[in-house]
Structure 1
Amino acid sequence: MAKLQLSLKGRALRYLSMREHSRLELARKLARYAQEGDDIDAVLDVLEAAKLLSEARFAESLVHRRAARFGNQRILTELQSHRLGDESLAGIREQLAGDEAARARAVWQRKFGQVAADAAERAKQMRFLQQRGFSHEAIRAAMRAVNLEED
């Protein structure tokens, strides 16, 4: 029996039913299945008009998925790679700024759990947090909170 071919709109709806996608990401995925004469931008415009594809919902979803593991800089860089508008990024930047130190401390707690015995171990822990995209201020605040808790 022949397999039923999905239209581009059908594929897009399938992708969007699994999770939120940016316009760029969805266009890239649909490009694999586009045939001669298919207009991916028109399909995406229809989805945006029907409020099925939303830049704001995508940004909120990505922040929700990444915030427990990564710092502000890494999250904002990923959002910029999806070519989101500056107004969306400004709101997200403000939203993330308030709790970065607490998130850095939680990531540190899950990874290490105990205070560093020496300066080399402390530097290793701080580099780990820096690679996760946390700011220097958030890392210092998290390490200070950990040290105060141990005393």
Structure 2
Amino acid sequence: MPRPPISLKARALKYLSSREHSRLELARKLTPYAQEGDDIDALLNWLEQSRFLSQERFSESLVNRRAARYGNNRILSELHGHGIEGEGLADLKADLAAGEGARAAQVLRRKFAEPAGDAETRAKQMRFLQQRGFSHGSIRHALKQAWSDEEGDG
């Protein structure tokens, strides 16, 4: 005997139990399973009121997962793609900006074993950091400080 289909609410809670989701992302995931008479917006409102769904928690989670590998531009672009805007985004932007240069230096050290010996290698390192979404100022900081910080730590 086949199992009865999972309700939209149960499916939403299942998604949220595995990790944080943005409202937009959860709506996109639930839409294919919605049946006639299901109101996804009402469900999402209920989830937010019950504090199962939180844009702030999602934003912090995404920033924590991405900060060690990517720059501010990439992280902020991803947040914007998830529908995160307004005051919360401005606060995250300020927090991220404070440590971007140090994060860029760590990413650079993990990828490249030693500082650039010539212009071609330096350009390669710069392109790598640009593709990761780091700003030009943090890239300059990382190229100057990446290996000098490492020597000072030891």
**TM-score, normalization by structure 2:** 0.93
The offset of 1:89, in angstroms, is 0.6
1:24 is matched with 24
2:46 is matched with 46
Amino acid at match of 1:43: L
1:126 is matched with 126
- State whether residues 108 and 146 of structure 2, in contact with CA within 8 Å, keep that contact through their aligned partners in structure 1: no
2:72 is matched with 72
**TM-score, normalization by structure 1:** 0.95
Whole-Å separation in 1 of the counterparts to 2:4 and 2:66: 36
2:141 is matched with 141
- Uncovered stretches (5+) of structure 1, i.e. residues with no partner: none
Point out 4+ residue stretches in structure 1 off by more than 2 angstroms. 146-150
Whole-Å separation in 2 of the counterparts to 1:62 and 1:146: 25
Q: Does 1:6 align with 2:6?
A: yes
Secondary structure of the structure 1 residue equivalent to 2:33: coil
- State whether residues 114 and 147 of structure 2, in contact with CA within 8 Å, keep that contact through their aligned partners in structure 1: no
Q: Which moved more, 1:108-117 or 1:21-30?
A: 108-117
- State whether residues 74 and 133 of structure 2, in contact with CA within 8 Å, keep that contact through their aligned partners in structure 1: yes
User: What is the number of residues matched between the two proteins?
Assistant: 150
Whole-Å separation in 1 of the counterparts to 2:84 and 2:142: 30
CA deviation vs aligned residue, 1:53-95 (integer Å, no higher than 9, x gap): 0010000000000000000010001101111121011000011
Whole-Å separation in 2 of the counterparts to 1:146 and 1:37: 57
